[in-house]
Structure 1
């Protein structure tokens, strides 16, 4: 019986460790700049790695994040994400960066999730109403109004948003704990899937008239 308990404890510890390690793996070398050409490269963490001898400063460099982006779209926001696809040197380093521009009076980064990364947001200018929703069954809203210089954290995987409530445009910088955190915008995923989700499913899930669901699907 004692041996069984020891085995069970060992399995439990292994499970806890695997869950705690469920993030971008730690690098085992100085860097592993991503390259699309597999010739003379090694496949690591979803990307081919350039030979260290061929790596240059440009693999770790991006310019122009200070330039405002257009917010002339239906939600009034623009996200410039610098992940491993934009900065190859981020491969295996477990971090990325984004600039967020919000239009005046209502610019919105719609409710979304990052399945592979926690986000920390720094407001550079403007006034943002931000928040995230905890998981089932509580679904509690954790929200706050932020001013320039304020910082807010959105835990990995939770639905969150930012909304500009000021009469002037807003800008923020976000850092994420993954080289490729991914993003699932809730409305786009639900009403704009390809192929579309059966309207009967969404009508029942959201307690809406089927015609309303069909109209929403057309918009997305």
Structure 2
């Protein structure tokens, strides 16, 4: 099961950035989960809920668009997929209010688009997207005669979630930046030490393949770093060195 899930949520090989690959994998998993939950909801409501046709008008197209977004994401078009998922969940919130203006959970749908906006959009665009989401839902709720108190509470809920996500991801970005800076400093110190050493040093992988060396090793072995890269201690080409 875990292997199947890994295959279904894998990122395209054309995406080299590790962070972006993780985001694509997360989005694939989210879209699949939403599709499964939507299908289950569709089946349950078809069996047990009177007046199901009103919900069907939203759920059926939503499932189709979720699967389309999943397909786009799997081909590396993660931004259109994320925007489509955001639009679907906003529509879900409006649809829930249309079906029942007193639905206490209608605004909970908006957590997903707000989170996706923070994950895939730049900070300024995230704030614009959040404001747009709140405005659209407020206008729709007013048109559907949703009680003003519920609209206000829902809007405050979305703003609070947005603020929490903004702070959390910003903190994570700061931590990641500090970690990368520390790694860069360590690498600089490492290179400074081995570069000035008189002894020849080669850096090898677990299989003894040479991946780096210092100038002393180049001088002693009579080969450049590029020539040494990829060789192993038992490489027959060493015989050519005298």
Tell me which interval the TM-score lies in, with the shorter structure as reference length. under 0.3
Which has the larger helix fraction? Answer: 2
TM-score w.r.t. structure 1 length?
0.24
| Higher relative contact order structure (alpha carbons within 8 Å, sequence separation ≥ 6) | 1
Where is the strand percentage greater, Structure 1 or Structure 2? 1
- The structure whose Rg is larger is 2
User: TM-score normalised to the size of structure 2?
Assistant: 0.23
